[in-house]
């Protein structure tokens, strides 16, 4: 049988770029190849529609005769595993999967309905990622990239990005930043993991955390062998003066510019108290500046790091300003911490993608980053105002707080209603988070958080096509 793919160009093994891994087992080469191909199709390794290599190419790769491959193809075509058509080559047949009977046994739980709308905190508006501008920056960065950019490079990250960040952070966030003090990581989670390793090496036993925050960060610290005693958060942020009463604490993790998730800014005297504690004890402040660029009602609150760059580890990322998928974050470190972080980084994830780093560096230097942040700040502020106006009209008893900055607001609910509101929203296809998800208490700690029923609503995340529906559903479930 003639091979449908054979012609003067595609017959050359070098002309067809498909690699196919097959293990030939069986009494003969032809039978072994036939069974190997059949098994690859049966198990899904070769998906329906996949084009197979020409017979001469596959024969050369496997070290068998071309007739062996041609005969195997012919047999599988006759059985219905493959199809062949002049000009289209030999491909895996598109076969309908047989419907499998449901397994016997106890009744399975019903599948949870996928939300129609989502107002869960943690993500910016992914639909507004600046694709065109990012692509332009990537092209420029790749064109200008030196040869060494494609090697292993400096564990701190590309100097182009560290230099661009040093300028941007000093200008926009009031951070004392030198390129030599900056280490690039894959986001805040990665940076915190590196810090946890360093703290353990330095014999730190505990890292204080805010009484409201994300459990994934507390879990990361505890998995590294660190205790995480909570410090109370009120309407003025963390009560940093309480740090002096905690024993064995060598660092504190905090969100001073915009406390997550309550949305309050740390009061100036409490900023000073946190720095005083770090200076007097030799402790470190781990500052998570997760959305510091987005402030609406007044001049941006600068980073705490500017008060004492030798006692504060400043952490930022592109996750809120651009998108989590960019997977780039940065730490601005006290000078003495740089070697320790470098050592910790060298044991695991040595460096982030150099190409993404070069692209972000160009994106910042060209001014595209500033323009994008300003544009999104206007869009998010408009969303915030629409949320406040809709609730004032349709649910006037609901107080909205924590909305001077960031991507989310806190909707205070009547006592005892948080759980029922979250459930009512889920029934209507709306995913929302209650404040209880972020509450953190340690048993027998001597104090207890007051009851606070509220929703944490991310007004930034929905795409424009879903925003009106999400807002309407939210208003409908308000008590």
Output the domain CATH number for residue 247: 3.40.640.10
Same domain, 385 and 355: no
Q: Which two tokens stand for residue 386?
A: 């629409």
For residues 329 and 359, state if they share a domain: yes
For the chain, which ranges sit under pLDDT 70? 1-17, 26-27, 95-113, 299-300, 347-351, 443-448
pLDDT value of residue 167: 96
pLDDT at 8: 39
Query: What are φ and ψ of residue 433, in 5° steps?
Result: -110, 135
Helix (H, G, I), strand (E, B) or coil at 236: coil
Question: For tokens 């595609």, what's the residue?
Answer: 10
- Give tens-digit pLDDT for 251-265: 999 999 999 999 999
Where among 367, 386, 408 does a domain terminate? 367
pLDDT at 358: 97
Tokens in use for 354? 């150099």
* Domain span at 348: 129-367
Instruction: Evaluate whether residue 108 is within a structural domain.
Output: no
Residues 236, 384 within the same domain? no
Is the Cβ–Cβ distance between 407 and 320 less than 8 Å? yes
Q: CA-to-CA distance for 300 and 258, rounded, in angstroms?
A: 10
Q: Write the pLDDT tens digit of every residue in 61-119.
A: 888 899 999 999 988 988 889 998 877 789 999 864 544 444 555 544 444 567 888 99
* Residue whose structure tokens are 């008060």: 307
- Which residues partner with 399 through β-bridges? 412
The pLDDT, as a whole number, for residue 159 is 96
Contacts of 299 (CB under 8 A, 6+ apart): none
Q: Identify whether 17 is part of a domain.
A: yes
Are 264 and 387 contained in the same domain? no
Is position 401 within any domain? yes
Instruction: State the Cα–Cα distance between residues 324 and 322, nearest whole angstrom.
Output: 7
112 is a domain residue: no
CA distance 80 to 43: 15
Residue 10 belongs to a domain with what CATH number?
1.10.10.10
Task: Give a yes or no: residue 106 inside a domain.
Answer: no
Q: Give the span between the Cα atoms of 418 and 399, in whole angstroms.
A: 14
Q: What share of the chain is helix, strand, coil (3-state, %, to 5)?
A: 40, 15, 45
**Given phi > 0 = left and psi -120 to 50 = alpha, else beta, which region is 237?**
left
Q: Tell me which of 321, 339, 367 is where a domain ends.
A: 367
Is 319 within the bounds of a domain?
yes
Domain count, the chain: 3
| Six token digits for residue 168 | 């941007």
Q: What is the pLDDT of residue 13?
A: 39
Helix (H, G, I), strand (E, B) or coil at 141: helix
Domain harbouring 444, CATH code: 3.90.1150.10
* 3 state SS of 231: strand
| R_g of the chain computed on alpha carbons | 29
C-alpha–C-alpha distance, residues 168 and 366, integer Å: 12
Domain presence at residue 348: yes
pLDDT attached to residue 101 = 45
One domain, residues 359 and 315: yes
Same domain, 97 and 175: no
Residues 361 and 243 in one domain: yes
Q: 377 is written with which tokens?
A: 């700040």
Per-residue model confidence (pLDDT) at position 278: 97
**Same domain, yes or no, for 361 and 375?**
no
């Amino acid at each position: 049988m003639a091979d449908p793919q054979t012609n003067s160009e595609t017959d050359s093994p070098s002309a067809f770029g498909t690699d196919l891994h097959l293990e030939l087992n069986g009494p003969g080469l032809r039978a072994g190849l036939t069974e190997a191909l059949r098994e690859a199709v049966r198990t899904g390794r070769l998906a329906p529609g996949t084009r197979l290599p020409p017979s001469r190419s596959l024969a050369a790769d496997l070290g068998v005769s071309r007739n062996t491959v041609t005969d195997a193809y012919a047999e599988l075509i006759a059985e219905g595993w493959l199809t062949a058509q002049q000009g289209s080559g030999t491909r895996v047949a598109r076969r309908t999967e047989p419907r499998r009977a449901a397994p016997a046994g106890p009744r399975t739980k019903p599948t949870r309905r996928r939300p129609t709308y989502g107002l869960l905190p943690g993500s910016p508006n992914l639909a507004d990622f600046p694709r065109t501008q990012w692509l332009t920056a990537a092209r420029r960065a790749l064109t200008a990239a030196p040869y060494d950019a494609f090697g292993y490079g400096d564990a701190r990250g590309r100097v182009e990005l560290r230099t661009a960040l040093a300028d941007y952070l000093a200008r926009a966030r009031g951070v004392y930043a030198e390129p030599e003090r900056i280490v690039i990581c894959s986001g805040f989670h990665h940076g915190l993991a590196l810090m946890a390793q360093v703290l353990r090496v330095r014999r730190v036993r505990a890292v204080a955390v805010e009484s409201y925050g994300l459990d994934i960060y507390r879990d990361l610290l505890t998995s590294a062998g660190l205790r995480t005693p909570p410090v109370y958060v009120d309407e003025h942020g963390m009560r940093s003066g309480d740090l002096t009463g905690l024993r064995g604490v060598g660092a504190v993790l905090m969100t001073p510019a915009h406390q997550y998730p309550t949305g309050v800014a740390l009061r100036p005297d409490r900023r000073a108290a946190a720095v005083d504690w770090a200076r007097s004890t030799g402790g470190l402040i781990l500052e998570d500046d997760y959305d510091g660029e987005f402030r609406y009602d007044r001049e941006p609150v600068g980073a705490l790091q500017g008060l004492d760059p030798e006692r504060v580890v400043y952490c930022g990322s592109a996750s809120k300003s651009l998108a989590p998928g960019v997977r780039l974050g940065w730490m601005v470190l006290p000078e003495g911490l740089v070697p320790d972080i470098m050592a910790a980084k060298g044991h695991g994830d040595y460096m982030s993608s150099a190409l993404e780093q070069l692209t972000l560096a160009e994106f910042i230097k060209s001014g595209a980053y500033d323009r994008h942040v300003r544009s999104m700040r206007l869009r998010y502020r408009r969303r915030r105002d629409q949320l406040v106006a809709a609730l004032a009209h349709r649910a006037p008893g609901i107080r909205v707080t924590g909305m001077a900055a960031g991507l989310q607001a806190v909707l205070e609910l009547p006592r005892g209603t948080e759980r029922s509101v979250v459930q009512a929203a889920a029934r209507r296809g709306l995913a929302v988070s209650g404040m209880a998800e972020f509450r953190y208490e340690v048993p027998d700690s001597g104090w207890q958080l007051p009851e606070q029923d509220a929703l944490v609503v991310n007004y930034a995340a929905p795409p424009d096509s879903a925003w009106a529906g999400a807002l309407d559903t939210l208003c409908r479930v308000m008590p």
